[in-house]
Chains A and B, each alone.
Chain A
Amino acid sequence: MRLSVSHISKAYHGNMVLEDCSWSFDREGVHVLMGPNGSGKSTLLRICSLLEKPDRGGIAFFSGQERLEDDMALKRRMTLVLPQVGIFNSSVFDNAAFGLRIRGMARREVERRCSEMLSLARLADKRFQRAVTLSSGEKQRLGIARALVIEPEMLFLDEPTASIDEANTRIIEEIILEKRHGMSIIMTTHDRAQAERLADQLLALRNGRIAGED
């Protein structure tokens, strides 16, 4: 699946955040978006993940040459993990299973995918724990596991390792590197070294526009 961002603008209360911003995300792998605080990275990710609409311009998803209809089915082929993950007050496993259960997936398949992803996120031994009692690093890992069980074709990660220690950061980076094949991961970070470790493509958001940084 390809994502084409064309000429989008977004302002909040007359304050321009994105201005005539265009980019084409047409390769699989990790696209790392950097930029100062308030430059509009989170805003861009919310727009790309169809959570918010731009004021002007538009985004379009393509599969091969075919332009995909902007509907629930399309929304379900991608997901965004927010900086504060938004953990449900239920068990770790139920959190991981949310995206699959709302898709009406069979129990055995839910069990299989969640077990696999919880292991990958090193949360297998915590599957029965109340998820709101997890540490912030564990919550972040759960947020990523919860997104990955859906097997999205496009995964947006907004500062997946902000306010997280080195050990947890390393686990999350390993997950990203392991999962980058067969999907597009578009993530933001303020950590230059991390960006260089992970990026297949390095991007910068400046003055409301995306620029490549190869």
Chain B
Amino acid sequence: MRDIIESLSRALFLILNLDGELRDIILLSLRVSGSALLVASAAGLPVAVIMAFGRFPLRGLFVNILNTFMGLPPVVVGLFAYLLLSRSGPLGFLALLYTPTAMIIAQAILALPIVASLSHSALVSVDPIITQAATTLGATPFQVSMAVIREARYGIMSGIMAAFGRVMAEVGAILIVGGNIAGYTRVMTTTIALETDRGNFTLALALGIILLALSMMITLVLNGIRKKERVEPQR
């Protein structure tokens, strides 16, 4: 018990002093997950739009596959990305393994189905009356789609936030493709895993606290977004 309290107070000390190592790790985490999210959104939103508005064979099947991929286990994604990037893999010539770029790729693969699938459900759950209203007001089919996308914007935003929460918290994928190189590929979750293993609880706890605070912030933002979606008056 004494140990825990002592580690905790030292962890708080690290946080309050904005320890250099701690700061670098947090910044790398945000950079990796943020970039992964950008990539996933840039690819996932068009996928969602095509799935929602496109008419092509096997669409239902694609949507189901996307929904299934939403729950991909991070380690499996890590393994897949590893095979892709390892020296003998198809992208091995890029020599990306154990770099932040590899971590971004792995997390983007993890986030893409989440962004695409949640955005797709936001798009298809827009009331059809919106499509009709836009049409009666003289919108072209393209403008109707834009109106529907606009209508789904809060749902899409919460999908992106949910994906952010997921990639920030995962350890399996980035550990496999990023390793745990101090000052280069160590992010919050991998550092926590490693330092705990080593019995160095101070840094692990400090990062744990930051991670918790971050996921609380994500939840708050999500709640804020959901409030915007709701219909009753808010004061």
Task: Name A's B-contacting residues (CB within 8 A).
Answer: 49, 51, 72, 75-76, 79-82, 84-90, 98-99, 102-103, 132-133, 146-147, 150
Q: Which residue of B lies closest to A83 (CB)?
A: B129
- Give B220 Cβ to nearest chain A Cβ, in Å: 21
Given contacts A88-B130, A88-B151, contact A146 B137 (CB under 8 A): yes
- Beta-carbon nearest neighbor of B127 in chain A: A86
Chain B residue nearest in CB terms to A149: B137
How many residue pairs, one in A and one in B, have C-beta atoms under 8 Å apart?
58
Q: A51 to B138, Cβ gap below 8 A?
A: no
- Is A81 a contact of B151 with CB atoms below 8 Å? no
CA A51 to CA B139, docked complex, whole Å: 12
Q: Which of A49, A76, A86, A132 has the most CB of B within 10 A?
A: A86
DSSP majority for the B interface? helix
A79 adjacent to B132 (CB under 8 Å): no
Q: CA of A80 to CA of B139 in the docked complex: distance in angstroms?
A: 13
Interface membership of chain B positions 210-232, coded 1 if the CB is closer than 8 angstroms to chain A and 0 otherwise: 00000000000000000001011
Cβ–Cβ contact B231 & A85, under 8 A? no
Contact of B132 among A51, A89, A103, A132 (CB under 8 A): A51
Interface membership of B133, Cβ < 8 A: yes
Given A85-B133, A88-B133, also A150-B138 (CB < 8 A): yes
Which residues from 108 to 155 on chain B have a C-beta closer than 8 Å to any C-beta of chain A?
Answer: 127, 129-130, 132-140, 143, 147, 150-151, 154
Q: Flag if B138 contacts A102 (CB, 8 Å).
A: yes
Least CB distance from B100 to A in Å reads 38
Residue of A nearest to B140 (CB): A72
Q: A82-B129, A88-B151 are in contact. Are A133 and B231 (CB under 8 A)?
A: yes
Cα distance A76–B139 in the bound complex, in angstroms: 8
Say whether A98 contacts B136, CB under 8 Å: no
Provide 8 A-B residue pairs closer than 8 Å at the C-beta atoms, listed in order of the A residue: A51-B136, A79-B136, A82-B133, A86-B129, A90-B150, A102-B134, A133-B231, A146-B137
B233 at the interface (CB under 8 A from A): yes
A103 x B231 contact (CB < 8 A): no
| B232 x A133 contact (CB < 8 A) | yes
Is the CB–CB distance between B233 and A102 below 8 Å? Answer: no
In the complex, A79 Cα to B137 Cα: how many Å? 6
CB of B156, distance to nearest CB on chain A (Å): 13
A80 surroundings in chain B (CB, below 8 A): 136
Contacts of B151 in A (CB 8 A): 88-89
Q: A88-B130, A89-B151 are in contact. Are A75 and B138 (CB under 8 A)?
A: yes
